[in-house]
């Protein structure tokens, strides 16, 4: 698995409850842009339309050597999941007020492009502060352990 882009903002703004792997429907020039790493998932989210899941506001920069058939940068891209998974996700989103956000965009061993999506609940400011404190404390502990090993 070769990671193209990771959505760091999603891990900061949301509490991830569940992760799923989904395929993504792309056009040729989008694939070439992804191979160059020209994509941003910062503002991206997923939405249901007609019992299908779409990735919205994911910015894939137009391919530099593309011609008049180059893709639109922020078009909606269909995510490919089994119908059973779509129904289950749709029920959770409607029932509990959760949202679906893209976490990772990556190439598989076979060269396919996949999206790891997460069923998420928004964090409050207090939760974000607590996470930062925990990370800082963990970093200090690891730093002290490394220092003690050197002695």
For residue 128, is pLDDT > 90? no
Q: What is the pLDDT of residue 61?
A: 82
Of 19, 2, 8, nearest in space to 106 by CA:
2
C-alpha 135 chain-centroid distance:
21
The total of other beta-carbon atoms located within 10 Å of residue 83's CB is 9
Rounded to the nearest 5°, which phi and psi values hold at 117? -105, 155
pTM (2 decimals)? Answer: 0.77
Tokens of 27: 């056009």
Number of domains in the chain: 1
66-125, pLDDT tens digit by residue? Answer: 777 777 777 888 999 999 999 999 988 988 878 999 999 998 888 889 999 999 888 887
Of 7, 5, 3, 1, nearest in space to 102 by CA:
7
Q: What is the pLDDT of residue 140?
A: 92
The domain that holds 24 is classified in CATH as 2.40.280.10
Contact of 95 with 119, CB cutoff 8 Å: no
50 is a domain residue: yes
143 is a domain residue: no
**Domain residue limits at 118:** 2-123
140 is a domain residue: no
Residues paired with residue 65 on neighbouring β-strands, in sequence order: none
Q: What is the pLDDT of residue 62?
A: 82
Higher-pLDDT residue of 71 and 128 is 128
């Amino acid at each position: 698995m070769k990671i193209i882009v990771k959505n760091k903002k999603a891990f900061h703004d949301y509490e991830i409850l569940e992760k799923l792997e989904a395929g993504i429907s792309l056009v040729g020039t989008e694939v070439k842009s992804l191979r160059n790493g020209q994509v941003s998932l910062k503002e991206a989210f997923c939405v249901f339309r007609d019992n299908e899941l779409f990735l919205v506001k994911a910015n894939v920069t137009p391919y530099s050597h593309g011609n008049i058939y180059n893709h639109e940068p922020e078009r909606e891209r269909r995510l490919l999941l089994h119908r059973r998974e779509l129904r289950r996700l749709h029920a959770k989103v409607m029932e509990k007020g959760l949202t679906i956000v893209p976490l990772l965009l990556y190439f598989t061993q076979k060269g396919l492009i996949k999206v790891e999506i997460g069923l998420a609940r928004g964090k409050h400011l207090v939760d974000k502060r607590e996470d930062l404190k925990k990370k800082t404390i963990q970093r200090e502990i690891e730093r002290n352990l490394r220092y003690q090993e050197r002695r």
